[in-house]
Structure 1
Amino acid sequence: MVAEADYLKKILLSPVYDVAVQSDLVRLDKLSAALGNDIWLKREDQQPVKSFKLRGAYNRLCQLTPEQTAAGVIAASAGNHAQGVAYSARIKQMKAVIVMPETTPEIKVEAVRTFGGEYAEVVLHGTSFDAASNHARELADKHGYTFVPPFDDPDVIAGQGTIGRELLEQNPHLDTLFIAVGGGGLAAGIGVYLKQLRPDLKIVAVESEESACLKAAMEKGEPVDLPSVGIFADGVAVKRIGTEPFRLCQQYVDEVITVSSDEICAAIKDIFDDTRVIAEPAGALSVAGIRKYVRENGTQGHKIGGILCGANINFHTLRYVSERCELGEQKEVVFAAKIPERAGAFRHFCELLGGRAITEFNYRFASNKEAHIFVGLKLRQGREEFKAIADSLNNAGYQLFDLSDNEMAKLHVRYMVGGRPPKLLNEHIFSFEFPEHPGALMKFLDTLGERWNITLFHYRNHGAAEGLVLAGFDIPANSREDFDQHVKQLGYQFEEQTSNPAYRFFLSDLNGVFD
């Protein structure tokens, strides 16, 4: 175990500036004015590989013995760590093997090859990070490579800790610092440095709700495996926090908060509005945490820091970000409503909205008595404003259901409103995460589509390594157990959505959610 004082020494003597730059600490003027606090952002997108990961990777490579350097290194990653190791290996003129899942988008594979040049070899293996990581360790044992972990290593942690040193020099007056957490190396490195010199500085760790491994570990008292992780903020999509990062975070992190995908999208927009930089979802976590923390605690007049830890965003992800950012800012709400199927009902409904801008409207005839609609509405004063709107509509006899926090509704149903089966079915609905590689759909159909009739299918690419799919099956009661076994054999992440109110309201042959 590395002592805290030794971490100080490691950080102060780290040679990261052979490759890294001292990134700017910039004031977010618009966000500061909007939130009533002095907010500063550390621009790690300015590193040659567009993320902080270069610091830890290079520091680790610099600690190798001559024999280890001659043998080369190996790493498993589909993202920023891979690029950091490849770039560092080129600078050190040593061999690096980077194992990446076969599902990794080509743009990321090419980036690793470009950063590593003749010194980096990319090996594509498996359809998941775990498979790639296991293969990397097998190759390390076979060829004598040194495995370079993405976060659970003292030298990697110390490399990331150099950010803390810069922060203290650039703005010694910060009173609160927000740091994104995936595997925990960034928060651990910055925390172990700053807290020894500024114990009064409050450190808040920020996690995605879909991959909150530090929160789970804090509650358990030790690192634990999450059953699954979300794919949107893929840079922090870690099932289990590192052992050494957890030890340090447990000692130096004051608070852990989680943010939703919508809140992350709003933070990406916040950063763009102030800097014209487009952060990747994981890179915007700290700003999402700042916005949520200030809103929930009424914080005013504080000097707050955050870290833009990466900007390697897939361009196609921007479509998703654009659709969801106003929900994250609480400037938009989406909801379902029943309206009478009679002349003038829609006009009356719109009158009750009081001239507010409608961002989306999907209509579906349900019966001779009623219609079902999916509505997006601009808000001027946040969620409290919608409560007043809902009360007004309910008092007028319109039945509403708020879908703003319903992921199935926002990912799939809003694009599918209007489809109901013509007869009663034993329909069951599931959401799946499909690996984005050739053959994934055929594997799905071969495993499930022969015996059970597919009644519904919706897929939309969001620029991630996994595709999000909504699928329905006609499953007689006497074959449900057999179906469940086949789904498990498929090996894809899935969740049943049959009871989801968005499905029942717009797509099911059952009665609507309000009945």
Structure 2
Amino acid sequence: METATKHILDFTSAAARLKDVVRRTPLEYNARLSERYGCEIYLKREDLQVVRSYKLRGAYNMISQLNQEELSRGVVCASAGNHAQGVAFSCKRLGTKGVIFMPEITPKQKVKQTEMFGNGNIEIVLVGDTFDDCLREALAYTEAHQMTFIPPFDNERIIEGQGTVGVEILEDLPDLDVVIVPIGGGGLAAGVGNYLKQHNHHISVIGVEPEGAPSMFKALEAGEPVTLPKINRFVDGAAVKRIGHLTFELSRDILDDMLLIPEGKVCSAILKLYNEDAIVVEPAGALSVAALDFVKDKIKGKKVVCVVSGGNNDIDRMQDIKEQSLLYEGLKHYFIVRFPQRPGALKLFVSSVLGPGDDITRFEFIKKTERESGPALVGIELKDAEDYPALLKRMEEHRFDVIEINRDQTLFEYLV
């Protein structure tokens, strides 16, 4: 039995409990990434789990330890999607009723998957704009109906189950040097990090969060969990306003580094994993791979494991993912262009301002009554980010009055 601070976390028993339930996911050597970063990089493919994320581990580990009376009353959870699927699968497997609260903005694909895994054993309630909103509703429902709440991360049995990812990693690669773990509520990092550190304290544990939802990062700065006033929900599997109290307590001493990854960088990682490795990941699942550029000098010559936490990506989001990637990489730019009131101004813009590799992806006159002379919203995609200064110079030389919308977040959100 292993311990972490004053909490008892029995990862070995959890692994035995889950042996015939979860899939032992592969630890895959990635030649492309290894060559790029000058080290050995392995992907822990939790996107290939039964429910396409690691969340099943914690959910089943907790629910399977409830007594018969608790199972007969049923369970409740709140989830952005992956924990919901783990709970749904567990309810079906253990024959208990589950009521699952999900934010209204949860991708339809995750809702349908949850229904499929529950297969008649669950009821889904869509409520609130964020995980924290639906959590409040779920807790109230749990108390009113005398059921058992299955938290997504802040519970010893949940953390214990997530830590079995670390059990498998160490069995497959006992001499690893670095593990990079995505963090939402912190259950995965707390479990995996504590298990690995207890067996080899030289292993470096790096936590990664989306830049728009830095709940662990801010908690580490403050020395305690804090509630963020607002978050960017794009990386939905890791968009949590407040880190768990227990997960924070178990993570602060084992995290060797804590990184914030821009959402656009996450999108680029999603596209590269899909286009170059044929791996479909959700935004939270790409966090660890997206972090590699930020630690490239620290991992040279080492054995590195990136935990790919999930693959529940909605195909309807792919256009948005591509857009955010292009913006982050400096390949797409939006302008308000005020065309000079002279003949052929629009033709001049197309023929002389645009470079040979530039492409107009959006063109929309803002004032419909001033076509050919009024301001227009123009989106331009470049072949190379380094072409941007030359594009601006040509606009200036040909006397086009422009506003760079990418540099004004308020204007960007309003117009684009």
Give the TM-score category using the shorter length: 0.7 to 0.9
| 1:162 corresponding residue in structure 2 | 164
Secondary structure at the residue paired with 1:64? coil
Contact 1:83-1:111 at 8 Å conserved across structures: yes
Distance 1:74 1:279 in 2: 27
Contact 1:207-1:258 at 8 Å conserved across structures: yes
Contact 1:157-1:185 at 8 Å conserved across structures: yes
Aligned length: 409
Residue 300 of structure 1, CA deviation? 4.4
Larger displacement relative to structure 2 (90-99 or 328-337): 328-337
Distance 1:385 1:165, change over 3 A: farther
Q: CA RMSD in A?
A: 3.3
Contact 1:28-1:274 at 8 Å conserved across structures: no
Secondary structure at the residue paired with 1:18? coil
Contact 1:330-1:379 at 8 Å conserved across structures: no
Distance 1:335 1:124, change over 3 A: closer
Return the letter of the residue paired with 1:326. Answer: L
Distance 2:354 2:108 in 1: 46
Larger displacement relative to structure 2 (97-106 or 206-215): 97-106
| 2:273 corresponding residue in structure 1 | 271
| 1:499 corresponding residue in structure 2 | none
| 1:75 corresponding residue in structure 2 | 77
Secondary structure at the residue paired with 1:205? strand
Return the letter of the residue paired with 1:85. Answer: V
Aligned residue among 164, 171, 178 for 2:173: 171
Secondary structure at the residue paired with 2:56? helix
Note the alpha carbon deviations across 1:330-379, whole angstroms, 9 max, x for none.
44444555664545666478656653332535365988988656342324
| 1:323 corresponding residue in structure 2 | 323
Secondary structure at the residue paired with 1:42? strand
Distance 1:36 1:269, change over 3 A: farther
Distance 1:250 1:400 in 2: 48
Distance 2:403 2:256 in 1: 37
Distance 1:84 1:92 in 2: 12
Aligned residue among 91, 94, 97 for 1:95: 97
Secondary structure at the residue paired with 2:253? helix
Secondary structure at the residue paired with 2:232? coil
Aligned residue among 258, 261, 277 for 1:259: 261
| 2:358 corresponding residue in structure 1 | 357
Distance 2:126 2:229 in 1: 25
Larger displacement relative to structure 2 (107-116 or 218-227): 107-116
Distance 1:323 1:122 in 2: 31
Distance 1:413 1:36 in 2: 42
| 1:452 corresponding residue in structure 2 | none
Tell me the TM-score normalized by structure 1.
Answer: 0.70
| 1:241 and 2:243 correspond | yes
Distance 1:173 1:316, change over 3 A: same
In the TM superposition, 1:79-478 aligns within 5 A as 79-101=81-103, 104=106, 106-125=108-127, 129-294=131-296, 300-335=300-335, 340-342=340-342, 347=348, 351=352, 354-360=355-361, 362=363, 364=365, 374-380=378-384, 382=385, 386-387=388-389, 390=392, 402-404=404-406, 406-407=408-409, 413-414=415-416
Contact 1:7-1:158 at 8 Å conserved across structures: no
Distance 1:101 1:403, change over 3 A: closer
Residue 326 of structure 1, CA deviation? 2.8
Larger displacement relative to structure 2 (14-23 or 405-414): 405-414
Contact 2:332-2:379 at 8 Å conserved across structures: no
Contact 2:153-2:187 at 8 Å conserved across structures: yes
Secondary structure at the residue paired with 2:280? coil
Residue 98 of structure 1, CA deviation? 1.9
Note the alpha carbon deviations across 1:216-272, whole angstroms, 9 max, x for none.
111111111111122211111211000011112211112222222211211111211
Larger displacement relative to structure 2 (333-342 or 130-139): 333-342
Note the alpha carbon deviations across 1:193-217, whole angstroms, 9 max, x for none.
1122232222222111221111111
Distance 1:56 1:390, change over 3 A: same
Distance 1:176 1:404, change over 3 A: farther
Distance 1:410 1:327 in 2: 11
Residue 6 of structure 1, CA deviation? 7.9
Distance 1:365 1:126 in 2: 34
Distance 1:409 1:164, change over 3 A: farther
Contact 2:131-2:240 at 8 Å conserved across structures: no
Identity percentage of aligned residues: 34
Contact 2:27-2:169 at 8 Å conserved across structures: yes
Larger displacement relative to structure 2 (71-80 or 39-48): 71-80
Distance 1:338 1:303 in 2: 54
Residue 146 of structure 1, CA deviation? 1.4
Contact 1:333-1:379 at 8 Å conserved across structures: no
Secondary structure at the residue paired with 2:43? strand
Tell me the TM-score normalized by structure 2.
Answer: 0.85
Contact 2:9-2:156 at 8 Å conserved across structures: no
Note the alpha carbon deviations across 1:426-483, whole angstroms, 9 max, x for none.
xxxxxxxxxxxxxxxxxxxxxxxxxxxxxxxxxxxxxxxxxxxxxxxxxxxxxxxxxx
Q: What residue ranges of structure 1 are gaps of 5+ in the alignment?
A: 415-515
Residue 191 of structure 1, CA deviation? 0.9
Distance 1:193 1:186 in 2: 11
Larger displacement relative to structure 2 (83-92 or 174-183): 174-183
